[in-house]
Amino acid sequence: MANPGETSAAHLLARPGVRRVPTPKVELFTVPGFLPDALCDHLMQLIDTNRRPSTIADPNGDAYFRTSETCDLDPNEPAVRDVEARLFALTGIDPAHGEPIQGQRYEAGQEFKAHTDYFEPDGQDFTRFCSVAGQRTWTFMAYLNDVDAGGATRFRLIDKTFQPRRGMLVGWNNHRSDGTLNPATLHHAMKVRKGLKYVITKWYRERPWGW
């Protein structure tokens, strides 16, 4: 890849089992069974041990915009190193460009309303978040469990909804092909109606992560 902080559709689709969502608006992919059950179980245990209330980069006055809990996973944990190795084998993105993997836990009634993963250039915290490593390039998110009811991830602008499936990875390019930020990546972690939902998320940056 031209930028070590990015991957490409061609690179991802060279791996068996990768599926591309048929839309011209977003480079969006799924990989069913990306994480094995035992690894999912271990990651859920780590999230339960260290979870805290989630926050957002640019507060918008809506106290219920993101109601999940978050966990920054220790990169030295064997389970986390395992995930990192699997992601590198899939994407080819230089690990130095990756943020630490984050875990999220949603109880019944919790959600993360429609948002994009990139930082808004006119946002009040843009400089603080992007001054070192630059903008986010790709997002990869894996579901760690099946959810009893609710908890889907909805990309409203392309009319695509993913139901949580244990071990499934979903990944997308936060930019268009011309390099501009892509608002069609807007997505909503919809409310869990019954049970719990666990996911992990990995974001990559334009420049090496230096925090």
What pLDDT was estimated at residue 84?
Answer: 98
pLDDT tier at 58 (50, 70, 90 boundaries)? low
pLDDT tier at 144 (50, 70, 90 boundaries)? very high
- Dist CA 211 CA 189 (whole Å): 27
What pLDDT was estimated at residue 33?
Answer: 98
Please check the confidence at residue 44 and state whether its pLDDT lies above 90. Answer: yes
pLDDT tier at 63 (50, 70, 90 boundaries)? low
- Dist CA 122 CA 142 (whole Å): 29
Please check the confidence at residue 57 and state whether its pLDDT lies above 70. Answer: no
Q: Are 189 and 153 in contact (CB under 8 A)?
A: yes
- Dist CA 1 CA 8 (whole Å): 7
Q: What tokens appear for 59 in the block?
A: 């507060």
The arithmetic mean of pLDDT across residues 106-123, rounded, is 91
User: Superfamily for 9-19+27-56+63-205?
Assistant: q2cbj1_9rhob like domain (2.60.120.620)
The arithmetic mean of pLDDT across residues 43-57, rounded, is 84
Every domain of the chain and the residues it spans: 9-19+27-56+63-205
The Cα-based distances of 208 to 89, 98, 137, 167, 173 in angstroms read 18, 7, 12, 28, 17
Residue range 16-33, pLDDT digits in tens: 999 999 999 999 999 999
How large a percentage of the chain has pLDDT more than 90?
82
- Dist CA 93 CA 204 (whole Å): 8
